[in-house]
Amino acid sequence: MIFRLGELFCGPGGIACGATNAQIGVENFGIIHQWANDYDADTCETYRSNICPDAPGTVYCGDVRTFDMSQLAPIDALAFGFPCNDYSVVGEQKGMDGEYGPLYSYGVKALKLFKPQWFVAENVGGLRSANEGKALTKILSELRHAGYKITPHLYKFEEYGLPQARHRLIIVGIRDDINVEYKVPSAIPYAGIDNTCRTAIEVPPIPEDAYNNERTKQSIAVVRRLEHILPGQNAFTANLPEELQLNVSGAKISQIYKRLDPTKPSYTVTGSGGGGTHIYHWAEPRALTNRERARLQTFPDDYKFIGSKESVRKQIGMAVPCRGAQIIFEAILKCFAGIEYDSTVPNVKE
């Protein structure tokens, strides 16, 4: 059984990379790309170059709010990582009242239009508390009314062997008329994996000619500041000389000039932010390169991101980690193939 996958808000292809690489040891059982949509031109080019170089016309660049979905080919599965800006605990958390909050509804629209056998929807953990919890309740209700049995779960990807503490709410839905039940894969089988950020970045060494591996030029002040910050510390927890301290009033974001702890997974890779938010090497006084960030997001080294350095940084930070997506897609495939696997109880109360 081959499932044709459609994607909204596809990003640079983290979900697609995980989906198309998902394998369960059953011949002719897998997921293939059918079409994808995103509003960012660089992001679409990255997706085309890596996921469907032989079918670039199947990636539609445009705003989903004005996009004619009826022109798209039939699909068996849908993925949509709807924009998280208004649900992130780091932002203002406008939820449904923000510009991006209602965009999940286009995923619901696609479900009603195409009636795929299953779907995967992804967002930040902050969605649970947006609008006093009412946003998540509304979204889950609409997904159910579209005709799906749903299983929401907060996945902590570092528990699944990924080299990054990244927590994401992922909702898996299977069409009501299909006698298949999705089970959340257990993290126990991944307990022994070495998922430190040092191993992810250094083993094997990044090739000299790797894509997107240009170093950022750090100012003298930033270099001096980093030289006083120990691994795992940030600009507010380190013992900085007065002239290197940051004059910040109010909330102090813990990731500002935070150096990685090489003995642990990385903290969350983000897609935007000003000075001090670029993720900093544990031993060298510098920000990580985009290729190093991509390793923390489990993209393969031959995955080429298109665009300026800042555009690429944003794409990598907004993506779903490939290996995390693959674990979820393989669980879905096993459910449809009737293969048992270690599972756990969903942790999101509805």
Of 327, 326, 325, give the one whose Cα is nearest residue 342.
327
Residue type present at position 85: N
Of 46, 44, 130, 47, give the one whose Cα is nearest residue 85.
130
Question: How many other CB atoms sit within 10 Å of the CB of residue 204?
Answer: 6
- Residue 268, helix vs strand vs coil: coil
Q: Is 302 exposed, middle or buried (0-12, 13-18, 19+ CB in 10 A)?
A: exposed
- Residue 124, helix vs strand vs coil: strand
**Residue 51: C-alpha distances to residues 20, 35, 205, 213, 309 (Å):** 8, 10, 24, 21, 21
Task: Report residue 234 as tokens.
Answer: 């940030």
What DSSP line would sit under 208-220, residue for residue?
A: TT-TT-PPPPPPH
Element spanning 326, H or E: helix 322-337
Alpha-carbon span 146 to 250, nearest angstrom: 43
Q: Is 301 exposed, middle or buried (0-12, 13-18, 19+ CB in 10 A)?
A: middle
Of 49, 14, 19, give the one whose Cα is nearest residue 33.
19
CB 129 within 8 A of CB 184: no
What DSSP line would sit under 172-229, residue for residue?
A: EEEETTS-----EEPSGGGTT----HHHHHHSSPPPTT-TT-PPPPPPHHHHHHHHTP
Show which residues are catalytic: 84
